[in-house]
Amino acid sequence: MNTLFLLFACAMVVIVATGMVRYLPRPYKTPALIGLVTWIAYGGMLGYAGVIGNASLMPPGLFYLLAPMVLLVMFMARSRMGLTVALSFPTWLLMGTESFRLVVELFLDQLWRDGQLPKMMTFHGANFDILIGASAPLMAWLLASRKISDRAALAWNVLGIAMLANVALRGVLTAPGPLHLITTEVPNTAIGTLPFSYIPGLMVPLALLLHVLAIRALRHRMRHLSEPAPPVNAA
């Protein structure tokens, strides 16, 4: 299964890189691609060196993986550059790409069956993220065909962040280390080793970033549509 997941992770990197090349403004393309490659190498090194799975570190190894991504997401959520990026992509594409979470859930299910993950981290337990992954293609189509409002799409994205926060928090609290506050039938050891360290290192940040960009694009469009039209000067 390790090889299969690694191929899936590589496919996601190719999809993200292709989207960057296709949609980002020219000045953003090269820095974005360099940043993507750098992050993949950095996350891989942390997983290979055992930093993420090291239960004795303080702060926990996951901090070194998640902290930079949280800062990036916050920057994209607040900055003008983030708005430019959000408006560069079709919003329906940002939402539809969230369907990759369905595949992630299938891998989590297999990790549970292999005894490397607690049941609560899967859709058999307290992880409802599969609903977002399964509904993403439908929501993308509905938005693209204007069969749902921007407000409904916004609500779906907010719900997606809530679902993601639920599983991410449970993942941290069930992993070995100082933050292991939830006792389960087996500890969450999978996310500390390659290639599955790319679940918190790539899949979770990607899902969050897609939601943030979609929300920024939707809110911008909603504000623009709500602005009164300028008065027409009489001839």
| Other C-beta atoms lying within 10 Å of the C-beta of residue 41 | 10
Contact 101, 207 (CB under 8 A): yes
Note the pLDDT of residue 178: 66
- 100-142 pLDDT tens trace: 999 999 999 999 999 888 888 888 988 899 999 999 999 999 9
Asked if the model's pLDDT at residue 181 lies above 90, the reply is no
Which of 2-6, 70-74, 223-227 comes out lowest in average pLDDT? 223-227
Asked if the model's pLDDT at residue 65 lies above 80, the reply is yes
Say if 127 falls within a structural domain.
yes
Say if 234 falls within a structural domain.
no
Say if 230 falls within a structural domain.
no
234 confidence band (pLDDT: 50, 70, 90): very low
Say if 186 falls within a structural domain.
yes
Number of structural domains found in the chain: 1
**What's the whole-model pTM score?**
0.90
Asked if the model's pLDDT at residue 184 lies above 80, the reply is no
Say if 26 falls within a structural domain.
no
- 193-209 pLDDT tens trace: 889 989 988 999 999 99
Say if 69 falls within a structural domain.
yes
Say if 189 falls within a structural domain.
yes
Residue 155: domain span: 2-16+60-76+91-225
Say if 184 falls within a structural domain.
yes
